[in-house]
Amino acid sequence: MEAHYSNWIEISRSAYRKNLEFFKNRVMPGTDISVVIKANAYGHGMLEIASLADECGIRIFCVHSINEALALRKQGFTQRIVVLGPTIKCFAEAAVKNDIEVVCYNIENLELYEELAKKANKIFNIHLKIETGTNRQGISGSALLAFLDVLKKCEHVKLRAAYSHFANIEDTTDHSYARMQIERFKNEVALIKNAGFSGFDLHFASSAAATIFTKTHFNMIRLGIAQYGLWPSKETYLSYITEFGHGSEHILSPVLSWKTVIGQIKKINAGDYVGYGCSHQMTRESTIAILPIGYSDGYDRHLSNQGYVLIRGKRAPVIGRIAMNLTTVDVTDIPEAEVEDEVVLIGSQGDQIIRAEDIASLEGTINYEVVARLPEHITRIIVD
Ligand SMILES: *Cc1c(COP(=O)(O)O)cnc(C)c1O
């Protein structure tokens, strides 16, 4: 196939559908699936993923910021949109005007929402974040009671949901901390009910809990990384296959592939150096291929002299330092390689595969970061 971009990301519709199908079958009746598409849908492309999720019948999007929510509204998405990160006061009016749901735990913001919703003659929906042990956003105990006192008087702000977030599910196969968080959550929810509130939803589970603990599903799951076909961690994977046995590891299919092409091929001599800092010296007469991809495109410089790519179904090692927009690989053992051949950076080719997790372990990070920081300037193409 003739290349049309020097590097691009392919998003597989069939893999995405398959992953959502798994969760549709897994959630309890009456539980909604919201998809978390913050961070440009974990690098997959927010608008591209929103349109695939829409095709799959998803009715709720979760994002981090009001700007992401407004971008979705601008594209015409009519789904419910929940902003999970803090919304600063200057964006309150835009949130009310565009019917965005926001996380709220701060009385000052609550009073502002009441005033704006009253002026607009609307009901504005908030999600109250409960602190249960992650110690990020949220309130509990006396701060929660003080908040509820004000909320009780608000006629235009509706408590749409109370929710919390697990601190320690991904990093362990011991889930006692998670169980403690659920207990705290139930106690705080009891406080809310005792204060006279009813008819609100509860949600807690992100991908790991959604996959391994159906009892954390409540009214909605917030499905992030698993919708993209990536496991939240090795521990989550182990917890799952320990419970469900072999064969169950294939429930998730990676949605994203990242590709580039060969820009130039040339022969160099034994003893020649490659790239900045002369960090790699050839030990034999070699053929090298130059790729139009570098660290400014998200191909991490830590992969210098460490990573590998796929060309003609074979592994080609990265040699020398990754530059801003160029990377060199050794194709001496792939003599059939030609200029403009497709090169896989993440994904499969022939019977070889490079997973986001493989790159993450070379870089000393997690699969979340590998995909989430893929830059916005790369073209995303939806393929079947
Ligand atoms: C990012 C995020 C999620 C999604 O987490 P995954 O592990 O990717 O499923 C869910 N809830 C909150 C509050 C988040 O910030």
Q: Which of 5, 18, 38, 215 is catalytic?
A: 38
Domain count, the chain: 2
Q: Residue 255: which H helix or E strand, with range? A: none
Provide the 8-state DSSP code for 377: T
Helix axes 66-74, 46-55, angle to 10 degrees: 60
Q: Is residue 248 in a domain?
A: no
H-type alpha helices, 213-270: 234-244
CA distance 34 to 195: 28
Same domain, 209 and 282: no
Q: Is residue 151 in a domain?
A: yes
Provide the 8-state DSSP code for 227: G
Q: Is 225 in the pocket of ligand 1 (CB under 6 A)?
A: yes
Q: Is residue 1 in a domain?
A: no
Question: Could you tell me which residues are beta bridge partners of residue 159?
Answer: 126
Rounded distance from Cα 74 to ligand 1 centre (Å): 24
Q: Domain limits at 104?
A: 13-243
Q: Is 44 in the pocket of ligand 1 (CB under 6 A)?
A: no
Same domain, 75 and 198: yes
Same domain, 51 and 27: yes
**Token pair listed for 111:** 């009073």
Rounded distance from Cα 221 to ligand 1 centre (Å): 10
For Cα atoms 165, 255, 14, give the angle at the middle one, nearest 5 degrees: 115
Same domain, 262 and 370: yes
Say which residues have a Cβ less than 8 Å from residue 188's Cβ, sequence separation at least 6.
130, 132, 140, 141, 144, 162
Same domain, 226 and 264: no
Residue nearest to atom 15 of ligand 1 (CA): 84
Q: Is residue 327 in a domain?
A: yes
User: Which CATH number is 23's domain given?
Assistant: 3.20.20.10
Q: Is residue 251 in a domain?
A: no
**Token pair listed for 80:** 């419910």
Mutate to test the pocket of ligand 1, among 32, 222, 234 (most ligand atoms within 8 A of CB): 222
Same domain, 197 and 286: no
Residue nearest to atom 4 of ligand 1 (CA): 224
User: Which CATH number is 311's domain given?
Assistant: 2.40.37.10
* Residue among 167, 158, 137 nearest 64 (CA): 137
Q: What share of the chain is helix, strand, coil (3-state, %, to 5)?
A: 40, 25, 40
State which of 213, 243, 273 marks the end of a domain.
243
State which of 243, 274, 294 marks the end of a domain.
243
Residue 353 burial by CB count (10 A; 0-12/13-18/19+): exposed, middle or buried? middle
Same domain, 134 and 189: yes
Q: Is 84 in the pocket of ligand 1 (CB under 6 A)?
A: yes
Q: Is residue 62 in a domain?
A: yes
For 135-149, letters b (16+ CB in 10 Å) and e give eebbbbeeebeebbe
Contact 129, 139 (CB under 8 A): yes
Model pLDDT, residue 243: 87
Same domain, 88 and 213: yes
Model pLDDT, residue 1: 57
Same domain, 261 and 220: no
Same domain, 232 and 136: yes
Say which residues have a Cβ less than 8 Å from residue 82's Cβ, sequence separation at least 6.
34, 60, 61, 62, 63, 100, 101, 102, 103, 127
Model pLDDT, residue 285: 98
Same domain, 160 and 20: yes
Q: What is the mean pLDDT of each run of 10 residues along the chain (384 residues)?
A: 84 98 92 98 98 98 98 98 96 98 96 98 97 93 96 98 91 87 96 97 96 92 98 92 82 97 98 96 98 96 98 98 98 98 98 97 96 96 96
Rounded distance from Cα 127 to ligand 1 centre (Å): 15
Q: Is residue 8 in a domain?
A: no
Phi, psi of 22 (to 5 degrees): -55, -45
The two counts, helices (H) then strands (E), for the chain are 12, 20
Q: Which of 97, 193, 276, 308 is catalytic?
A: 276
Q: Is residue 198 in a domain?
A: yes
CA distance 293 to 325: 5
Same domain, 197 and 260: no
State which of 182, 210, 243 marks the end of a domain.
243
